[in-house]
Amino acid sequence: MSSRNNKSILDLLSLEKNKIDSLFSTADKIAKGELSLDSKGFGKTGALLFFEASTRTRMSFETACARLGIHPLLLDGKSGTSLEKGETLEDTVLNVDAMKPEFLVIRCGDDLDLKSLSQKVQSPILNAGWGKKGHPTQALLDAYTIRRNLGSCDGKKVLIVGDIRHSRVAASHFELSQKLGYEVALCGPQDFLPENPPVRVFSRLAEGLAWADAAMALRVQLERHAVKYSLQDYRDQYGFTVKNLKHLSSHALIMHPGPINQGTELDSEVLQDSRSRILEQVSNGVLIRQSLIHGIISGGF
Ligand code: CP
């Protein structure tokens, strides 16, 4: 089957800067109510295939579809699908693609090869979190949040704290920072850092926070590895606590992609901090995904 699919978004290195700028401009217009969206999606479908758990990404893509008049075809987990009868993930995707949705939003583990699959399907694949490889729309909504609050991403300093080795969000920020000109630095216990960090590493959280325009805590992925010290020690040294965040400038942003382990990487009081943009990130996630889908269905992306 020939592919009409050169529009898939699997990573951010292959997304041109002008497309990212256009994505952000369209999101601005949607936020201001300046873009007419009604009826564009009428009679169209978008497939949301979430083979792994999600709250924010899945529901924001559903919201984006609803606001564009597109009917979302949701496959939420494996239960109740023919995956339970032994059908492969790839076959499932190919069968849904045969129903000709406008796009395939896919969350999956590293075991599904989205790159080769994108050459076999007719509809563009949008990576909604692919194993440890990347989570492009999360990095885009994070950067959009920085841009909205600080005017631009260019030249800004973004500290990513915590479980970076297992983080697809960090992987996408390593790519996007090259496109948008922001500097990423890392801070976390040795076990949580990449073996060869591609960017600067701060050994002390206080120094990293003092340097940063935006500080992003990542979820400690307890399911992926054994923590070799206590979670209380982790919180004291790397947690976003009221005490630790005294080192962060009053103009800097506190961010987290979610879900949060409250009391481990971020304390509940920090959600009320005037610098926190954590729920704004979620709202911006809808704008970015709406903008992306709008670009796809209107042929502009
Ligand atoms: N940030 C994020 O991907 O959250 P979900 O896992 O809830 O989608």
Query: How many Å lie between the centroid of ligand 1 and the Cα of residue 93?
Result: 21
In CATH terms, the fold of domain 3-134+283-298 is Rossmann fold (3.40.50)
Query: How many Å lie between the centroid of ligand 1 and the Cα of residue 37?
Result: 26
What letter represents residue 287's amino acid? L
Burial 80-92 (b: 16+ CB within 10 A, else e): eeebeeeeebbeb
Helix (H, G, I), strand (E, B) or coil at 153: coil
pLDDT confidence of residue 228:
63
Burial 204-241 (b: 16+ CB within 10 A, else e): ebeebbebbbbbbbbbbbeeeeebeeeeeebbeebbbb
Residue 190 has pLDDT above 70, yes or no: yes
pLDDT per residue as tens digits for the range 97-119: 999 999 999 999 999 999 999 99
The residue among 70, 74, 72, 73 whose CA lies nearest residue 43 is 70
How confident is residue 299, by pLDDT bands cut at 50, 70 and 90? confident
Look up residue 246 and give its two tokens: 């005294």
How confident is residue 1, by pLDDT bands cut at 50, 70 and 90? very low
| Domains 3-134+283-298 and 136-278 fall in the same CATH topology | yes
Which atom from ligand 1 is nearest to the alpha carbon of 128?
3
In CATH terms, the fold of domain 136-278 is Rossmann fold (3.40.50)
Q: Is the peptide bond before 259 cis (omega within 30 degrees of 0)?
A: yes
How confident is residue 6, by pLDDT bands cut at 50, 70 and 90? low
Average pLDDT over residues 128-152: 98
Strand partners, 137: none
Could you list the beta-strand ranges (E) of 162-225. Answer: 183-187, 200-201, 214-217
Query: How many Å lie between the centroid of ligand 1 and the Cα of residue 135?
Result: 9
Task: Take atom 6 of ligand 1 and give the residue whose Cα is closest.
Answer: 54
Query: How many Å lie between the centroid of ligand 1 and the Cα of residue 2?
Result: 33
What letter represents residue 264's amino acid? T
Identify the residue with better confidence: 223 or 27. Answer: 27
Best residue for ligand 1 mutational test, from 52, 54, 140 (most atoms within 8 Å of Cβ): 54
Least reliable range by pLDDT among 172-176, 226-230, 242-246: 226-230
Mean pLDDT estimate for the chain? 94
Percent of the chain at pLDDT > 70 equals 94
pLDDT confidence of residue 225:
61
How confident is residue 300, by pLDDT bands cut at 50, 70 and 90? confident
pLDDT per residue as tens digits for the range 11-24: 999 999 999 999 99
Look up residue 163 and give its two tokens: 């479980």
The count of C-alpha atoms lying within 13 angstroms of the C-alpha of 203, restricted to the half-sphere facing its C-beta, is 0
pLDDT per residue as tens digits for the range 143-170: 999 999 999 999 999 999 999 998 999 9
- State how beta strands 214-217 and 157-161 pair: parallel
Domain spans of the chain, in order of start:
3-134+283-298, 136-278
pTM of the model: 0.96
